[in-house]
Amino acid sequence: MKSFIAANWKMNKTISETGEFLRDFIPLVKDVTDVDIVVAPPFTALSAAAGAIQGTNVRLAAQDIFWEEKGAYTGEVAPGMLLDAGCTHVIIGHSERRQYFHEDDAVVNRKVRAAKKAGLGVIFCVGESLGERESNRTFEVIRREVEKGLEGIDADGLVVAYEPIWAIGTGKTASPDQAQEVHAFIRDILGKLYAGTAEGIRILYGGSVTPDNVSSLMACKDVNGGLVGGASLKADSFAKLVCYKKEK
Ligand code: 13P
């Protein structure tokens, strides 16, 4: 299976910083053919990024979406607008959206439906908090998020990202065993939702992924890529992640 490595820049980088990054990054990964490479800048830099990646092997994702096609929804961005800006993918259900913007499973599901209807690939995020892990609720939370978030959704263009909240931006990466355990569990749920096609769905790991730990995580059977925050903000660091096979 082709791996999938995406940079989630969160609320970082202006238009000119995005341009500088891509100018440095694109030549470093131009020969990579065995990884789908995606960058997710903030909304304001999407259009400029789309111009910079034209004709390259780098694809563009937005970090969020709204489910309506147009209308009186101040501050929101419609699926068609993301396509128009050059996006092929969108991140949905990130724990920061769930936590700070109160997105629940029903909201996440509406967003996934709208993105898929528009023809966007979806990077669908799930993950447990530290408290949930410590009280042995990891599997219950992941099951609920996957089943509710993907209700009525087909598997086409779907990528799932497992991001334990306690590992995001903390420098505390899940061990390969911890990651594999949850990835296998997600694969099992996907197997029930999508009999026959679940094996082909990429499941990414996210949470303090760095050039130093990427190889051990990618060596896990059910880890098919990464969703990277902090270590994706510098071109050389993200290029090292994308080229993890050479770094071994
Ligand atoms: P960090 O790589 O900074 O831990 O962030 C992970 C993340 O949330 C990616 O979506």
Distance CA 245, CA 247 (A): 5
The CATH topology of domain 3-247 is TIM Barrel (3.20.20)
- Nearest in space to 9 (alpha carbons), one of 109, 91, 78, 79: 91
How many Cβ atoms are within 10 Å of 106's Cβ, its own excluded? Answer: 11
Does ligand 1 lie within 6 Å of residue 227's CB atom? yes
- Which tokens go with 82? 């993301």
Distance CA 29, CA 241 (A): 10
Which residue, by CA, sits nearest to atom 1 of ligand 1? 229
Q: What angle do CA 151, 152, 154 make, to 5 degrees?
A: 110
Type of residue at 52: A
Atom of ligand 1 nearest to the CA of 94: 10
pLDDT of residue 189: 98
Q: Mean pLDDT in the chain?
A: 97
Does ligand 1 lie within 6 Å of residue 95's CB atom? no
The model's pLDDT over 160-177, given as tens digits with 9 standing for 90+, comes to 999 999 999 999 999 999
What residues does each domain of the chain span? 3-247
Beta bridge partners of 203: 160
How many Cβ atoms are within 10 Å of 244's Cβ, its own excluded? Answer: 21
Of the chain, the end-to-end C-alpha distance in Å amounts to 19
Among 38, 228, 232, name the best residue to mutate to test ligand 1's pocket (greatest count of ligand atoms within 8 A of Cβ): 228
Does ligand 1 lie within 6 Å of residue 6's CB atom? no
**Phi and psi (nearest 5°) for 158?**
-95, 130
225 Cα to the center of ligand 1, angstroms: 13
Atom of ligand 1 nearest to the CA of 10: 10
Atom of ligand 1 nearest to the CA of 169: 4
pLDDT < 50 positions in the chain: none
0.85 cut: is pTM over it? yes
The model's pLDDT over 4-27, given as tens digits with 9 standing for 90+, comes to 999 999 999 999 999 999 999 999
pLDDT of residue 247: 58
